[in-house]
Amino acid sequence: PKDKEETHKKLRESHPVRPPCTEKCLKGCTKKISEERRTEINSEFWLLNFVGRSSYVLSHTEALDTKNKLKNINCVKSSYYKYFLKEKGKLEEVCRTFFLTTLGFTPTNNTLLKRVLNTSLVPENDKRGKHSPPNKCDTELIQKHIRSLNPGISQYRRKLAPNRLYVTSELTIKKMHSLFKEAHPSTECSYQTYLTQVSIVQNEHLIPESWT
């Protein structure tokens, strides 16, 4: 629809590439990723839909193992996550400021990061029930593995979304995918495929009573 295209266009225009971190940044971000590449990344990111953008953030961040757990689930601290952007087919680690500004957000805008990294096991759906087509693989085996990990349900969000899965600081969707690959090395399963199966388990209410 034309209205939808116009809205999406305005969304892209309101999130241009913003000034990066300074040359004093310890990660040397500006030396790793050129301005031309930042523009390409920004354009690719805003061509994605809501779920796609959330998936992008998930696949370009990594939670750090630490004994000092976050006390406030609504807080995102750069020290607890690593951020990556792709340059010439290789993921390069960058600082949070460089990551956010490349995607078109201000350095202090944590809205997207809080929602994706700390709240939901999977990107919150746009309620249209659409999923990316999975690769050819044993989807039943993947769903069985997801249920076996027994993700919990957030107590304070239980009334708002009783069937939405949440994870602890120890268990993330990336970790679940890694565990699956370790357990079933001969089964083809990309990260996006695993993510899709998590959504299916959730949205089709294939959640055991013990999870609730």
pLDDT tens digits along 85-120: 999 888 999 999 999 999 999 988 877 777 666 544
Give CA separation, 111 vs 76, 158, 197, in Å. Answer: 9, 21, 26
Quote the pLDDT of residue 135. 39
Higher pLDDT, 124 or 82: 82
56-77 pLDDT, tens digit per residue, is 888 888 877 544 444 444 444 4
Residues 6+ apart with CB under 8 A from 151: 121, 165, 166, 167, 171, 211
26-56 pLDDT, tens digit per residue, is 999 999 999 999 999 999 998 888 778 878 8
Quote the pLDDT of residue 190. 84
pTM (global) more than 0.75:
no
Quote the pLDDT of residue 164. 45
Of 148, 47, 67, 164, nearest in space to 115 by CA = 164
